[in-house]
Amino acid sequence: IELLVVIAIIAILISLLVPAVQKVRSASARTQCLNNMKQVALATHGYHDANKRFPYATRDYQPGESVATYVTGLILILPFIEKDDIARRWDPTQPRNSVVDTDGDGYTNAMLQKMLIPTLICPAMTPPIGPLPEERGWCSYLFNAGTRDVTDFHYLAPAPSFDGNVAPPVANLYV
pLDDT reported for residue 92: 79
Helix (H/G/I), strand (E/B), else coil: 40: helix
Integer Cα distance of 91 and 69 in angstroms: 10
Average pLDDT over residues 77-83: 92
List, for residues 91-147, the tens digit of each pLDDT value.
877 877 888 888 888 899 888 888 888 998 888 888 888 777 767 788 888 777 655
What is the average pLDDT score of the chain? 77
Average pLDDT over residues 26-36: 89
H/E/C letters for each residue in 114-171?
CCCCHHHCCCCCCCCCCCCHHHCCCCCCCCCCCCCCCCCCCCCCCCCCCCCCCCCCCC
pLDDT at 169 over 60: no
pLDDT at 73 over 60: yes
Percent of the chain with pLDDT strictly greater than 70: 74
Higher pLDDT, 108 or 149: 108
Range in 64-68, 70-74, 118-122 with the lowest mean pLDDT: 64-68
